[in-house]
Structure 1
Amino acid sequence: MSTVLNYRSNMIVELMRMPAEEHDEAWLKDALQQAVLLELATLPPYLCGLWSIEDPDRDGEVSETIREIIFDEMSHMGLVCNMLTTIGGTPRLADAALVPKYPGALPGGVRPELCVSLTGLSKEALDMYSQIERPDDPVVEDAEVHTSIGAFYTQILEAFRKQPQLIKGTKQITRNMSSHGKGNDVVALTSLADVEAAITIIKEQGEGTAASPDNPFPGQPGELAHFYSFREIFHGKKLIQVSSDPQRFDFQGADIPMPRTSRMGTVPSGGWEQGGVPVSSEVRVPLDSFNQHYSSMLRFLEKAWQADQSSTPTPAQLLNKAVGEMLQLEDPARQLMQFPLPGSSGRTFGPEFRYVEAVE
């Protein structure tokens, strides 16, 4: 398998087509790097939806649901980075060729029929979010799908099970995130059991189980897996069990009102200006600020999993710096959503999530 990495590759599909007996150490490193990119790719669309929610709904049920899903995805990304470093690999994030590109498909050829874009929260955006998380066999709204994220993680787990000796416990970063759910801590992966537990959390927080839409690792009691949470908001109704024999679920529960939102437009390929949208000097300030903080966050994340415990700064300190940069993203993003796009569409600007080199 080629080690040349590009976000627009079809590598996940190619990796999954390889015979199981070829799922060796090199295969596993390639697969885990793709999984890192996959986890990163989910965050910008969800964040745009969250940040587009306006007062007084910013602290409402829908905001809280999306916020918790985002924290889940962040911990998933940390766990996958630990999976890669525990077998001697190095996560790569800070590279314009690897940073997610929108609008477009998910990395590696997962769900090629799905176009993922950056836009404000809407019914269309919620449908996109839920299609990202869709299980192979959901308990509601079953449909034929292409390669799922869960199926990819299943192959990764099988490769670990065949080669547990690859797990060395090297360059592991830990972070307490238990306030967001009992499965959300980023933990050291030093054994096969650790890896099995981590992949179970990643799969079941996103997809639920074959028998239930519940999130087995919730932040709050009764929390659903990501796919079902997004479908609830999409339908505007709670998902409830409507039959026990046979067991059947449907969106027939209490109403879930859509929150008030900024009408963020869809970011064109390459960003607003690259897509032919004039950008004023007033808009450019928060736009550049956002891209710089986002890119700096990725650089700190990459350095965190490259550093040793004896390094200065330490991996934990570098991760803290990445979190600090992440916390700088919301204000410029919300500022951008106050600027109307040129023309009479009624839509606004929003963050591009574009990688830029460090400012000297």
Structure 2
Amino acid sequence: MTTVLDYRSDAIVQLMSMPEEEWTEQELKDALQRAIMLELSTIPPYAGALWSITSQDDDEPVRRTVREIVFDEMSHFGLVCNMLTTIGGHVVLTDPATVPKYPGPLPGGVNPKLTVRLGGLTRESAALFAAIEKPENPLAYAGDGTSIGAFYQRIANVFPTFAHLITGHRQVKFPLSGHGTGNDIVAMKTIDDVLKAIEIIKSQGEGTDVSPENPFPGSEGELAHYYAFKEIAEGRRLVLNPTTKCWEFTGDPVPLPDTAPSAAVPAGGWANDPENTPDEPTAALLHTFNEDYTAMLRALEAAWESGASVGAAIGHMSAMRETARQIMDVRLPASPRFTYGPEFLFVTT
């Protein structure tokens, strides 16, 4: 199979259509690069939604839920990067072809009917996030297609064949266990390390066959991502019906916190919206955010090339958060009910 890094290719669909016994070392490396792109693609929409919440109280229930999921996704991203580099692969984040593009589908042809958008937290955006995380057979609904978890399971099925490639080289380690018992970014030194990490990624996103709870939670009773986002979307807690023994979204209300009314970002950024072309100060904020986003991707790529610290990347993400909040304070000229939102554009010059 020829490596095609294009974010909007159907490479994952192609990989899933190949018999496992036909996978070579190159297919495994390609699959891990696609998984990295998938994990990266979820962070901008989830982070944008988190940053739109006006309360900074980490104990506010919905804020806490979204915040913990963002940290989970960062952990998943790091674990998969370690899987790729431990077998001699190279993490690609700064080729313009690999960078997430919004609005648009998930990378690799996963769930092609889904359009992922950037914007603030609403019931609708939470429903979109739940659709991204949806399991093959969710406990509260019938399944209707191949999931991200199924792709990870394919990687888990194939990886032991290539366990001899595991070197433990160029591994980045970072403590995140404060956000879940399995969330530390750890080195992939053995096939058991790899398979454990894949199980954490799958079950944190989708739950298990018997429970919607995250088995590696940051706090007791924390739901897997799909069910957590679905509670926000439905506005009701997920409960087990004692009569039918089925999980239903019929529990206590889930109120949305106050948020900045950040509008959906147009393709290519706000400069492509003639009615809402940003003024000079707003354009400067947007550019500052995009520069930090680009610098973060460059720092992450460099860290996994050498096995160095991700401290520089974390610094850029902190700066992004503060700039994003400033951007979400600025009202749209043509639609003052709404505000601008960060664009997450890769700056090539």
Q: Counterparts of 1:1-360 in structure 2 under 5 Å?
A: 1-55=1-55, 60-145=60-145, 147-243=146-242, 247-276=245-274, 277-307=276-306, 315-316=308-309, 319-344=310-335, 346-357=337-348
Distance 1:89 1:352 in 2: 30
Is contact 2:28-2:158 (8 Å) kept?
Answer: yes
Aligned partner of 1:151: which letter? A
Equivalent residue, structure 2, for 1:312:
none
Aligned partner of 1:94: which letter? T
Q: Which 10-residue stretch deviates more, 234-243 or 207-216? A: 234-243
Scaled by the length of structure 1, what TM-score is found? 0.93
Deviation string for 1:244-273 (max 9, x for gaps)? 7x6321122222111111111111111111
Distance 1:102 1:193 in 2: 36
Distance 2:20 2:200 in 1: 23
Distance 1:302 1:270 in 2: 23
What's the CA shift for 1:58? 6.8
Is contact 1:338-1:349 (8 Å) kept?
Answer: yes
Point out where structure 1 has 5 or more consecutive residues left out of the alignment: 309-314
Look up the SS of the partner of 1:218 in the other structure.
coil
Distance 2:104 2:259 in 1: 24
Distance 1:169 1:55 in 2: 41
Aligned partner of 1:267: which letter? V
Aligned partner of 2:51: which letter? W
Aligned partner of 1:31: which letter? A
What's the CA shift for 1:330? 1.1
Equivalent residue, structure 2, for 1:311:
none
Aligned partner of 2:207: which letter? G
Distance 1:143 1:341 in 2: 39
Q: Equivalent pairs: percent with the same residue? A: 49
Aligned partner of 1:153: which letter? Y
Distance 1:85 1:344 in 2: 46
Is contact 2:4-2:11 (8 Å) kept?
Answer: no
Point out where structure 2 has 5 or more consecutive residues left out of the alignment: none
What's the CA shift for 1:163? 2.3
Distance 2:6 2:55 in 1: 39
What's the CA shift for 1:170? 1.6
Distance 1:349 1:128 in 2: 20
Is contact 2:135-2:143 (8 Å) kept?
Answer: no
Alignment length (residue pairs): 348
What's the CA shift for 1:127? 0.6
Deviation string for 1:287-335 (max 9, x for gaps)? 0110011100000000001115xxxxxx02xx11111111111111111
Is contact 1:243-1:249 (8 Å) kept?
Answer: no
Q: Which 10-residue stretch deviates more, 246-255 or 147-156? A: 246-255
What's the CA shift for 1:355? 0.4
Is contact 2:53-2:259 (8 Å) kept?
Answer: yes
What's the CA shift for 1:143? 3.7
What's the CA shift for 1:161? 2.0
Distance 1:339 1:101 in 2: 23
